[in-house]
Structure 1
């Protein structure tokens, strides 16, 4: 694949948008650089006042995992950019980040301030030149990404496929749950794993009966955890797989297919059976570096079942800024270089 060359602020914003898949809002985006080559892309929500130092240390810690990086390009996305002021929005954050990066041997290479309608150099002063955001649509980088089939969504809000929530499907799942309850745990687990493996290795969506079995399997925590750990195709301890701390690289195409299967199952599930499905999808998004989407799926799982324990504790973990270990290593990270925390 031909390498992309970034020349202008519009190119930078197009690269960020296509890398993340959406247009950031009230966010700090950092791109690591080694000489003139781009490394990792990180997006985080802008900090609350008074938390700038701890926030900067956390962000710098994430960026430092790119051991080849020597400098960082940043962009502050905020509606405050439209206000005429000599003091740039979130100046304390950038000052703290500059110091935190210096402690790790990195420097700020350049910065952009992105408002609702314009973009300008962060350190260019209130009267510095600006560029309309519409210029990103005609940038060379945007054209190349669009040619490759990439799109930029206006926000990072997820859109779930419509759920049929069929009564007969819900009843069929309940019947299957009763049948599973009569099996020994080991036998039920073995059968569930065999069915799930067949689905992951197939190239077509499963039948209705297979979906009913799958939805029922996920209702049992011991089976749910094992099936989730089977997704990446890694033969290591289950806890290390679920927490993305393995040495081996996940089979990312298998992970992507697993998400499609789970969303397909969601469209056939009733509300009371959907929490484990949405939680599994949340884990996949976290594994792939999409922390904010993982949070949204976990919130949807908790809407379906407010007492769903795995969704609740996982949301606390992700909300604290924990990034999946696979994304801390270029050899195991998801191929999309965009990362959210």
Structure 2
């Protein structure tokens, strides 16, 4: 695959949109640079309070994990208007970030201010700065190349779940299968669950209804559920290290993506009573891939289905604290082409 060359502000915004998969809103986006090579892409919500030294240090810590990066390109996406004679929106935040990066041996190379309809250089006099319409991104060379490769940019980061059948017959069948699993020896139940899941992950088509019912049932049993989630990346390391993305091995990302499709398929056959474990597993996939905001949304949906679902609640606390999956701290193991999000 030929490398992409970013030359204009429109190219930068197209790159960000396609890398994240959606158009940021009220966000700070940072891209690490090593000479003229692009590294990691990070998106975080803009702070609700002016300045924010702790916010800047947190962002700088994320960026510093790209040890080869020397500088950072940033873009502030906000609907906040530029007032004549006043500093740029979130100027105190950018000033704090400049200092926090300097402490880590990095510099802010350049910046953009992205409004609802236009983009302009962040630094300089807004009265003389060149302002471009956001529509320019549609005709940028980078956008054309990404579209050619099959990439799209969603208008927001809000997830849209496929329609769930929520059939009583399926719910009853899942309950019966769970009872069967619980009557089995623990190791036997785990072995059967893993064998079924491995077959699905290696297949090229969706499972039949009976297999789907068994999969949903397996995810209702915590001991089996945890191991099936850990089996998704295809890494033979301790389960807790896999779940927390702290492994030495690199995930098989095509396998992870297929697992998400299988889980979404299972969700469409799940009743509300059985959907929380499935939605939680999908949340982990999104977190592993650096999509913290979407992971949070899936966990919230899991808690709507079952407010007492402990794994979803604990996982949401973990992600909400700003913890980023370890794989995303290593550009050789991070999911591509998506960027990194910190919720």
Matched position secondary structure for 1:30: strand
Matched position secondary structure for 2:80: helix
Matched position secondary structure for 1:79: coil
Q: Which residue of 2 aligns with 1:102?
A: 102
CA displacement, residues 204-262 of structure 1 (integer Å, 9 cap, x when unaligned)? 11110001111011001111001000111111110000000000001111111110000
1:266 lines up with 2:267 in the alignment: yes
Q: Which residue of 1 aligns with 2:65?
A: 65
Contact 1:200 1:254 in 2 (8 A): yes
* Correspondences of 1:93-242 after superposition (within 5 Å): 93-127=93-127, 128-242=129-243
Matched position secondary structure for 1:333: coil
Change (3 A) 1:23 1:83: farther
**C-alpha deviation, 1:51, in angstroms:** 6.2
Task: Name the TM-score, length of structure 2 as normaliser.
Answer: 0.97
Q: Which residue of 1 aligns with 2:311?
A: 310
Task: State the distance in 2 between where 1:22 and 1:332 align.
Answer: 22
Q: Which residue of 2 aligns with 1:52?
A: 52
After the TM superposition, list the runs of 4 or more consecutive aligned residues in structure 1 that deviate by more than 2 angstroms: 81-86
Contact 2:82 2:89 in 1 (8 A): no
Aligned residues: 341
**C-alpha deviation, 1:181, in angstroms:** 2.0
CA displacement, residues 295-328 of structure 1 (integer Å, 9 cap, x when unaligned)? 0000000000011000001001101110000111
Change (3 A) 1:51 1:123: closer
Task: State the distance in 2 between where 1:156 and 1:150 align.
Answer: 15
**C-alpha deviation, 1:331, in angstroms:** 2.1
Q: Which residue of 2 aligns with 1:340?
A: 341
Contact 1:281 1:294 in 2 (8 A): yes
Contact 1:81 1:113 in 2 (8 A): no
Task: State the distance in 1 between where 2:220 and 2:45 align.
Answer: 34
Unaligned runs of 5+ in 2: none
Q: Which residue of 2 aligns with 1:86?
A: 86
**C-alpha deviation, 1:42, in angstroms:** 0.4
Which has the higher mean CA deviation after the structures are superposed, 53-62 or 138-147?
A: 138-147
**C-alpha deviation, 1:85, in angstroms:** 4.6
Task: State the distance in 2 between where 1:83 and 1:340 align.
Answer: 29
Unaligned runs of 5+ in 1: none
**C-alpha deviation, 1:167, in angstroms:** 1.1
Q: Which residue of 1 aligns with 2:25?
A: 25
**C-alpha deviation, 1:187, in angstroms:** 1.4
